Structure 1
Amino acid sequence: MADLNFYSGTMDCGKSTLALQLDHNHRTRGRVGRVFTSHDRAGEATLSSRLGLEVHAIEVTPSLNFWDKVVGELTHGGRIDYLVCDEAQFYSREQIDQLAKIVDELDIDVFAFGILSDFRTQLFEGSARLVELADRFLTLQVEALCWCGKRATHNARTEDGIMVTEGEVIVVGDVDVPDRPAPTVGYEVLCRRHHRRRMTAASARAAALSPDVLPFP
């Protein structure tokens, strides 16, 4: 019986590396799969890891229908034993439902990878639906660490080095200001305490140099 598997964790915990490894392991055993991703750091139609590994992938756009694509390939003589779906947090609720249908009706394994919540600490639509439907929900064991050394549980977005908690889930230009250079957008993983305090590594260093530094980390 096929399963809908969801592997989750914060940024920097090795999700894409595991997705690449899982695809490699299945291919070396003679299984045939398809790799999907969305908004990968390496660009469109690419699944990459921070270790420098990457493979070609199918870009998941809002209009992609997983069921139609898989059934279409099977109808034309294609073989599909499994799907690897990275950055699944960006998929729509309907697309996650389509993946579940593929598992149940076509007996094809689905391995989805994604982060649970965005920089506002709100669940992504795709991740929320995967939690509701997945046969197996696994938290990755490689822990990302906050700058303080504690386990990181939250993803933070920074603009010009300052942590922000408002804005589009995917930055497309809403942070532009006329007559001002576009801000540098970055991401950082933090523990809950420092996410609540909006204290990134940079702001912590600045606070350490301040005469008014608080008496707690």
Structure 2
Amino acid sequence: MAELAFFSGTMDCGKSTLALQIQHNRSARGLAGMIFTRDDRAGEGRLSSRLGLITEAIEAGAGFDFHAHLVRHLTAGGRADYVIADEAQFLAPEQVDQLARVVDDLGVDVYAFGITTDFRTRLFPGSQRLIELADRVEVLQVEALCWCGARATHNARTVGGRMVVEGAQVVVGDVGAHQEVGYEVLCRRHHRRRLTAATAGAAALSPDVLPVDAATAPRAD
């Protein structure tokens, strides 16, 4: 039986690397797959890993219909033994429904990979729908680490090294990016305190020190 599997985790936990590994393993056994992605860090029509691996992919932008695309491909005599959909958090709920139809109607395995929550700790619509529909949901076991050494569980958006909690849900960037807008993975404690590696280092705070607002700090009279 074909299945819809969703592999999830924070940024920097190896989702795209696993997607490329699955593609490699299956192609080595003579299976033919179709790879889709959206807003990959390497640019349009690319599936890339931070380890430097990269492959061509079909860009599944807004309005793209997975089911219709597979039907056209198969009707024209093409072959598809499996589908890989990376950056699945960016998909619309109806596109996830289309992936489920690819499994149920066409008998093709679908492996989706994505971040579960955004920088505000809210579920991405695509990830939420995958959790609702997937036959199997797996949290990746390669643990990303917060700057303090604890397991990273949350994604933070940074501007100039400082964590922000407002703005559009989707802004393409990367972990550790040397640009104004970037991303960092944090443990829940430091996400709640908005302590990134840069701000914690600047304040010379240890992981166990509570942040104190200067306006509310006790006076040393």
Flag whether TM exceeds 0.5 (same fold). Answer: yes
Query: What is the deviation of 1:17?
Result: 0.3
- Tell me which amino acid in the other structure corresponds to 1:191: C
- Determine the structure 1 residue equivalent to 2:78: 78
Query: What is the deviation of 1:154?
Result: 0.2
- Tell me which amino acid in the other structure corresponds to 1:16: S
Matched, 1:99 2:99: yes
Tell me the SS of whatever aligns to 2:47.
strand
**Residues 215 and 11 from structure 1, CA distance in 2 versus in 1: closer, same or farther, beyond 3 angstroms?**
closer
Rounded to whole Å, the distance in 2 between the matches of 1:54 and 1:142 is 20
Choose the corresponding residue for 1:203, options 195, 199, 205: 199
Query: What is the deviation of 1:137?
Result: 0.3
Structure 1: unaligned runs, 5 residues or longer: 173-182
Rounded to whole Å, the distance in 2 between the matches of 1:170 and 1:205 is 28
What TM-score, normalized by structure 1, do the two folds share? 0.91
Choose the corresponding residue for 1:184, options 167, 180, 198: 180
- Determine the structure 1 residue equivalent to 2:11: 11
Tell me the SS of whatever aligns to 1:12.
coil
Give structure 1 regions of 4+ aligned residues with deviation exceeding 2 angstroms: 213-217
C-alpha root-mean-square deviation of aligned residues, in Å?
1.7
Percent identity, aligned pairs only?
65
**Deviations along 1:111-150, whole A, 9 cap, x unmatched?**
0000100001100000000000000000100000000000
- Determine the structure 2 residue equivalent to 1:111: 111
Tell me the SS of whatever aligns to 2:79.
coil
**Deviations along 1:14-42, whole A, 9 cap, x unmatched?**
00000000001010111111000011110
Tell me the SS of whatever aligns to 1:97.
helix
**Residues 205 and 158 from structure 1, CA distance in 2 versus in 1: closer, same or farther, beyond 3 angstroms?**
same
- Determine the structure 1 residue equivalent to 2:122: 122
What TM-score, normalized by structure 2, do the two folds share? 0.89
